[in-house]
Structure 1
């Protein structure tokens, strides 16, 4: 049976003066969403990690009802800090009906050249999981090493040098305490002079 091709439902979020492009893999099925934005699954800790990293408050980006995320607050924050967000996959086969990267088959990766043309001040990429790291890495020269978690390598892309950071997954399936993940992200934002 031919699996359907799922196309990414969100436009890349590319604020002006973007210096850092954060890249996940692909959103979960829509039934898991708590907002129409990146990392919409309430079980995903990305916005808690950023709340801890920047404000020492894991619930900083929760809505007033505490059962969803505050999309407007998140977008305003990302715009202020110059952080763009998108995913490394444009089209996928979802091998199982869940959010797990293990069951995503990338059909078409993102058009990185097109995205970078819209954020000319971008200096670095940060992938937020193994599938995102592998997919982004596949767009670079074959000699580009995969960074260790929490570290970066320099990559040449379109005659420009970028830092390529590999960050811990914000998924709760990735077994590392939230505070530890936030500490690693805080280091990235400090190095990028965003924090």
Structure 2
């Protein structure tokens, strides 16, 4: 079975206070842009639009069924949000975007990412596979969905937030997903 390498570089703004980690990008055929959470059917950018701009379509170009990458990058740089995934190489056990059918071949060196983000105080995982992978790497107890656990990284107090998946396959309304993310962003004084 083919091993896929991560197609994107980590997005690491120097002012990042939050590192957002998914599992791995979907297949390119599902991309609406060359960036993170590219699937038009993924709600990550709708959640951010709703919370920060009171408009779920703030980052959307509905006529193109695509997200506005430059607008997203400007937002992430302004807010101090870094992005990557918990795996740098995977095997897809089925021909779909489901984390359930991803086998992590090589986990990401999260410590190396955090060393590049001296202001980072929190990590958020955006799904079960990402949470499982991160908790295994750092020997952490998994927080409940919508909650966090505290840990120390290189003498730095950190929080791991476990948020609901932004995938539409996760059966929760957009507004309820946004409500969970709102608590995290408020905790971190980003909203």
Q: TM-score, normalised by structure 1?
A: 0.95
Query: Residue 115 in 1 paired to residue 146 in 2?
Result: no
Deviation at 1:25, TM superposition (A): 0.4
Q: Give me the whole-angstrom Cα distance separating, in 2, the residues matched to 1:145 and 1:130.
A: 13
1:146 maps to which residue?
Answer: 142
Query: Once the two structures are superposed, what CA deviation does each residue of 1:131-185 show, in whole Å capped at 9, x if it has no partner?
Result: 01001101113xx210011110101233322100000000111111100101111
1:94 maps to which residue?
Answer: 92
Contact 1:49–1:181 under 8 Å retained in 2:
yes
Gaps of 5+ in 2: none
Q: Give me the whole-angstrom Cα distance separating, in 2, the residues matched to 1:167 and 1:66.
A: 28
Give 3-state SS (helix, strand or coil) of 1:108's partner. strand
Query: Residue 158 in 1 paired to residue 149 in 2?
Result: no
Q: Give me the whole-angstrom Cα distance separating, in 2, the residues matched to 1:79 and 1:65.
A: 26
Q: How does 1:25-64 map to 2 (within 5 A)?
A: 25-63=23-61
Q: How much is the aligned-residue C-alpha RMSD, in angstroms?
A: 1.0
Query: Residue 11 in 1 paired to residue 9 in 2?
Result: yes
Aligned residues: 191
Match of 1:190 among 164, 170, 186: 186
2:122 maps to which residue?
Answer: 124
Gaps of 5+ in 1: none
Deviation at 1:53, TM superposition (A): 1.2
Q: How does 1:166-177 map to 2 (within 5 A)?
A: 166-177=162-173
Q: TM-score, normalised by structure 2?
A: 0.97
After the TM superposition, which segments of 4 or more aligned residues of structure 1 sit over 4 Å from their partners?
none
1:71 maps to which residue?
Answer: 69
